[in-house]
């Protein structure tokens, strides 16, 4: 049997669908068409149907998608129906902001431990978590079954932190430091970079709808 | 003459190319092939060649891309060779982190004003910027020629802030609040959402390389 790997682009769109579906549910919308989703999210409806069809047959012709059912299915595909513990290294402003931010999540993904190398930060409180020294990181990651690591340290320290996370056994890393991390291929890394968002916005400032000749 | 709109996906990849090219330049690499770029960035080399070809004929067969020249060209395409002033509303932890973060940028894109609605924050200092009250926002945006607005306020306040930005005349908004903003079509909005990154990582935790039958 031939098989097909699902691209990262598809996987990255699922949380976007999920976020919008949750908003629809809060407004007590029961069903939604791929046309409506597409219009709202600035995506081609055919693309949305294709993305979702990788995972199952969720929509009904002429009716669309049942909002609650699709939320439940996407949460399952993304494994948000499991408890996923997250650890964060770097108790600076961004680390604080991320801890605050994820408190709002109703999901089972939670930052359960925060680490920092700086003496002055160790023992301080972030959302009821005591900042731990780096020397405790590997033990804590293993004891608390932390599966995702978040890196919010300066660029120069990020590679070292990533290596510690890998040694501790995390399966995935979300990296906010502006460097490309070198990790073994079994560890998944996503880079979160504000400059990517800002810089791509700049493109639209004076050339929105810029057109080039078809070759 | 037929024309073609360049997709947001292409535009969003340009800063990723740029970041990697700058890293190569720092390591004194002079030329790079689309194969090398593709391997590093986990993208198909043909995709990279196609993306760049929208904007010009930058590569040479058998040699690849001149790193310095391509940096200069991408900076020009993204308009990073212009001065672009940015305003931020929401002087919380995330707002602080973003101001600190962009200080490191060598580019002409700069946060030049910070606003907050909370009495206790007004007048405090963030990276040598005094936090201003919301009542000054429209005047300051116009006087300082602020073209991009960043929103780091709680979800419930984000739509109001977006409307103020629009009234003041910004052309683009980077929204960190977990809501979908309603703005006129001439204003470009990108949503930055940590949960999108985190949730899409979760997908890879136990099913990395998940395979489904080709239909």
Residues B119 and B159 in one domain: yes
Half-sphere CA count of B188, side-chain side, radius 13 A: 19
Q: Contacts of residue B86 in chain A, CB cutoff 8 Å?
A: 198
Residues A19 and A72 in one domain: yes
Residues A106 and A194 in one domain: yes
Count how many domains chain A has: 2
Q: Which residues contact B178 (CB under 8 A, 6 or more apart)?
A: A19, A104, B155, B193, B195
In a domain, A164, yes or no: yes
- pLDDT for A102: 67
pLDDT digits (tens, 9 = 90+) for B50-88: 999 999 889 888 889 999 999 999 999 988 888 899 999
- Check CB contact under 8 Å for B3 and A201: no
Residues B94 and B194 in one domain: yes
Residue B8, token pair as written in the block: 């947001």
- pLDDT for A119: 95
Q: Which portions of chain A are predicted below pLDDT 70?
A: 1-4, 42, 102-107, 206-215
Q: Which residues contact A36 (CB under 8 A, 6 or more apart)?
A: A64
Query: Which of the four pLDDT bands, split at 50, 70 and 90, describes residue B3?
Result: very low
Q: Annotated binding residue at A92? A: yes
Domain containing B57 equals 8-77
In a domain, A3, yes or no: no
Check which CATH number belongs to the domain holding A136 and give it: 3.40.50.720
In a domain, B214, yes or no: no
Query: Which of the four pLDDT bands, split at 50, 70 and 90, describes residue B93?
Result: confident
Q: What is the ipTM of this complex?
A: 0.78
Angle at B42 (CA atoms; ends B39, B46), nearest 5 degrees = 75
Q: Helix (H, G, I), strand (E, B), or coil: what is residue B208? A: coil
Q: Contacts of residue B2 in chain A, CB cutoff 8 Å?
A: 213-214
Residues B102 and B41 in one domain: no
- pLDDT for B106: 60
Check which CATH number belongs to the domain holding A58 and give it: 1.10.10.10
Q: How many CB pairs under 8 A join A and B?
A: 222
Residues A159 and A114 in one domain: yes
Query: Which of the four pLDDT bands, split at 50, 70 and 90, describes residue B157?
Result: very high
Q: Contacts of residue B214 in chain A, CB cutoff 8 Å?
A: 1-4
Q: Which of B84, B150, B206 sits opposite A202 (nearest CB)?
A: B84
Q: Which of A77, A93, A108 is the last residue of a domain?
A: A77
Residues A22 and A90 in one domain: no
Q: Which of A77, A101, A127 is the last residue of a domain?
A: A77
Residues A46 and A136 in one domain: no
- pLDDT for A15: 87
In a domain, A62, yes or no: yes
In a domain, A93, yes or no: yes
A45, A111, A173, B200, B209 from A170: Cα distances, Å: 36, 13, 7, 15, 17
In a domain, B157, yes or no: yes
Answer with the residue of higher pLDDT: B30 or A208. B30
- Check CB contact under 8 Å for B208 and A193: no
Residues A56 and A112 in one domain: no
DSSP-assigned letter for residue A34: H
Residues B160 and B67 in one domain: no
In a domain, A100, yes or no: yes
Residues B92 and B180 in one domain: yes
| CA B166 to centroid of chain Cα atoms | 19
In a domain, A212, yes or no: no
* Residue closest to A63 by CA, chosen among A38, A40, A35: A35
Residues B53 and B118 in one domain: no
- pLDDT for A210: 34
């Amino acid at each position: 049997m031939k098989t097909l790997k699902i691209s990262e682009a598809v996987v990255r769109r699922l949380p976007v669908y999920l976020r919008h579906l949750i908003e629809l549910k809060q407004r007590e919308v029961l069903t939604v068409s791929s046309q409506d989703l597409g219009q709202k999210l600035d995506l081609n409806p055919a693309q949305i149907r294709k993305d979702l069809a990788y995972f199952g047959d969720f929509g009904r012709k002429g009716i669309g998608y049942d909002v609650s059912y699709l939320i439940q299915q996407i949460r399952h595909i993304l494994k948000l129906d499991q408890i996923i513990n997250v650890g964060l290294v770097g108790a600076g402003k961004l680390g604080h902001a991320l801890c605050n931010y994820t408190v709002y999540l109703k999901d089972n993904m939670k930052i359960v431990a925060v680490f920092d190398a700086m003496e002055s930060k160790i023992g301080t409180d972030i959302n009821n978590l005591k900042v731990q020294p780096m020397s405790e990181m590997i033990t804590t990651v293993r004891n608390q079954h932390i599966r995702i690591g978040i890196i919010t340290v300066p660029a120069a320290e990020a590679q070292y932190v990533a290596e510690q996370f890998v040694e501790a056994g995390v399966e995935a890393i979300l990296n906010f430091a502006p460097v490309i991390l070198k990790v073994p291929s079994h560890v998944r890394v996503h880079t979160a970079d504000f400059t990517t968002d800002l810089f791509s916005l700049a493109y639209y400032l004076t050339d929105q709808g810029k057109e080039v000749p078809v070759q």
